[in-house]
Amino acid sequence: MEKEHHCLECGKPLYGRPDKKFCSSNCKNEWHYQQSAGSIRQKNWTHSLLTRNYKILRELLGNKSKRFSLAELQMRGFSSQMVTSHLGHCKDKQYYACYDILYTQSSTEVFNIHSAAYTSPLP
């Protein structure tokens, strides 16, 4: 006697091929969407933090002050762990990039914020 198979998404009995997993393309799409939903949420969360950091750093580019308290920036929503690149370290300073904005960070301050926007040599 054959074992009855059920749709992985809705649980309805399946008929036809023995290796069939879904009763319809809608169930198949929904099941695959649910499987990737966690990674989509993680990607969106990471992107939103990077975007917030970028906006904060972009605002500071035009500021005449050269040093900013890390605690003050964190109160504004800055997340010091969310960077696009870690460029290295020297003594107690770390060098980071958030997209095209480069900056230096110590345990208490962010400073030397500048843009490293790439200018294409093409006309």
| DSSP structure string for 60-71 | HHT-S-SEEEHH
Q: Determine, yes or no, domain membership for 58.
A: yes
Distance CA 44, CA 33 (A): 15
pLDDT of residue 111: 92
Q: Determine, yes or no, domain membership for 122.
A: no
* Count of domains forming the chain: 1
| pLDDT string in tens for the chain (123-residue length) | 457 789 999 999 999 888 999 999 999 999 888 888 888 888 999 999 999 999 999 999 877 778 999 999 999 999 999 999 998 888 888 999 999 999 999 999 999 998 887 544 444
Q: Determine, yes or no, domain membership for 17.
A: no
Short-list 101, 72, 102, CA closest to 93:
102
Short-list 58, 39, 108, 115, CA closest to 80:
108
pLDDT of residue 36: 85
pLDDT of residue 119: 47
* pTM of the shown model: 0.67
48 lies in which domain range?
Answer: 25-115
Q: Determine, yes or no, domain membership for 72.
A: yes
Q: Determine, yes or no, domain membership for 18.
A: no
Q: Determine, yes or no, domain membership for 98.
A: yes
Q: Determine, yes or no, domain membership for 59.
A: yes
Q: Determine, yes or no, domain membership for 14.
A: no
